[in-house]
Amino acid sequence: MRTSEIYLEIAPLLTSNQEILESLKVCFETPQTYFQEHADRYDERCIDAEDDEARLQWIGLADELLESGSFVELDWNTEKEDFLYELESLVVKYKLPLQEEWFKEDGDIPLWAQTLDQEWESRGFCLAAMDIDSDSYVLFPCQVRDLSSLITLSQKVNQRFDYAKNM
């Protein structure tokens, strides 16, 4: 199976928005064309046209979902208040609870993610992450069954989705 075909299996597990899926199709099938159309996004991450296509596709996927508000990107040392604030808009979409008292003040993102996994377990959700090879976390609420598929598919393209608690 070609890399672009695997990415085309990944995308609908992350969004049902047809506009985003169409943009991602361009990213996966013609990464250089997509790069030219979104050079500013790549430039912010110090990625240029000479980077390999796999990196262009993976970062394109992340940036599309970040820009659409489906994912959030947080610095590794994000404080609890900022973590909760950024996740608030994401959990509303899935009608997931998010309560400040669940979280230790002196915790970190993996610990808080583990807490969310425990709180959301009965609903079949977890906090997932996309590894973009940086010191930030790209996070999103995800159904556990979908994350299992995302983990398997991402390994086929030498990338990584996982539970945020494992990042």
pLDDT in tens, 29-86: 999 999 999 999 999 999 988 888 999 999 999 999 999 999 999 999 999 999 999 9
Mean pLDDT of the chain: 96
Tokens matching residue 1 = 């199976």
- For 20-47, give one letter per residue: b (16+ CB within 10 A) or e: beebbeebbbebeebbeebeebbeeeeb
- The residues spanned by each domain of the chain are 1-70, 71-167
Rounded to 5 degrees, what angle do the CA atoms 71, 73, 77 make? 145
